[in-house]
Amino acid sequence: MTAVAPTRLELFRAAGCAACDAARGALKAAALEEDADLVWRDVDVLDELDHAVELGVLTLPAIAIDGQLVFTSLPTPAELRAALARYRTARR
Amino acid sequence: MLTIGKAAAQARVTPDTLRYYEREGLIQPADKTASGYRLYDHEQVRRLKFIRQAQECGFALADIRTLLAVRAQPAACCGDVRQVAIEKKLQIEGKIRTMKAMSRALDSLIADCASETMPVGDCPILAALDKAAARA
């Protein structure tokens, strides 16, 4: 049986984004509650501009799951959990 | 107080542009003369220069409206403006990427058409575009 790679979540943001700082903790907790193996990455768009453009990030903050842009603004923790659950079902 | 012509000249825009900004809700005259001519003060000339400068940096009028709103909020901070600028940069970089892809697609079409004297009915560029249209 081959091991399935853990889901990778990227939060694209700009340094100094107060809204991201405020929401990040609750979102990360919800994401890990939904998928304990999830790999969470905070991405400063200015450090990885090419990667952000490649995924089609045009507004901040944005969230990509396994390289797919899923949210173009901050979701609620429940919306993020639902998206991760849908993603996991689709992956099976 | 300055007339529309003088205010526009100070900000290096045309009076028509200034009227356009007014229609778009970006600026309002400070006053009007008894005969209805628009009058502008120095704060509005400053605002006008700000709008022109922002346009030169690639900001659309909708972005400029956001920037002006942020500028007017005492509680706003530089990070809010920075975020708008970063989003604009992302959009520009995205467009550059798209245009580079278009340029590469044109390179291969140009290379396919090696014979300039070929009849237009046999033109591989038109054939490739027709084929792409049929697929779409």
Dist CA B108 CA B124 (whole Å): 11
| Total beta-carbon pairs less than 8 A apart between chain A and chain B | 36
Residue of B nearest to A49 (CA): B90
Q: Are A9 and A65 in contact (CB under 8 A)?
A: yes
Strand partners, A13: A44
Q: Do A59 and B90 touch (CB under 8 A)?
A: yes
Q: Are A37 and A7 in contact (CB under 8 A)?
A: yes
The 8 Å CB, 24+ separation contacts for B12-19 are B12/B49, B12/B52, B13/B48, B13/B52, B18/B48
B104 — contact with chain A (CB < 8 Å)?
Answer: no
Q: Are A37 and A69 in contact (CB under 8 A)?
A: no
Residue of B nearest to A72 (CA): B87
Which residues of chain B make contact with A58, given a CB cutoff of 8 A?
Answer: 87, 90-91, 94
The predicted pLDDT at position A12 comes to: 95
Dist CA B136 CA B130 (whole Å): 10
Q: Are B52 and B13 in contact (CB under 8 A)?
A: yes
pLDDT band with cut points at 50, 70 and 90 for residue A1: low
For A8-91, which CATH class? alpha beta
B108 — contact with chain A (CB < 8 Å)?
Answer: no
Q: What is the DSSP letter of B92?
A: H
A32-79 per-position pLDDT tens digit: 999 999 999 999 999 999 999 999 999 899 999 999 999 999 999 999
Here the ipTM equals 0.77
Question: Which residue, among B89, B54, B83, has the nearest Cα to B68 in the 3D structure?
Answer: B54
pLDDT band with cut points at 50, 70 and 90 for residue A11: very high
The predicted pLDDT at position B29 comes to: 93
A18 — contact with chain B (CB < 8 Å)?
Answer: yes
Question: Which residue, among B18, B59, B20, B24, has the nearest Cα to B40 in the 3D structure?
Answer: B18
Instruction: Mark the ranges of chain B whose per-residue pLDDT is less than 70.
Output: none
A17 — contact with chain B (CB < 8 Å)?
Answer: yes
Domain boundaries, chain A: 8-91
Question: Which residue, among A70, A77, A45, A47, has the nearest Cα to A60 in the 3D structure?
Answer: A45
Sign of the CA dihedral with A32 first, then A16, B55, and B99 last: negative
Q: Nearest CB to A45: which of B78, B79, B90?
A: B90
The predicted pLDDT at position B17 comes to: 95
Tokens of A61: 């903050």
Q: Do B79 and A17 touch (CB under 8 A)?
A: yes
Q: Specify the pTM.
A: 0.72
- Residue A5 above 60 pLDDT? yes
Which residues of chain A make contact with B78, given a CB cutoff of 8 A?
Answer: 16
How far, in Å, are B1, B10, B17, B18, B52 from residue B40 at the CA level? 5, 11, 14, 11, 16
Q: Are A9 and A39 in contact (CB under 8 A)?
A: yes
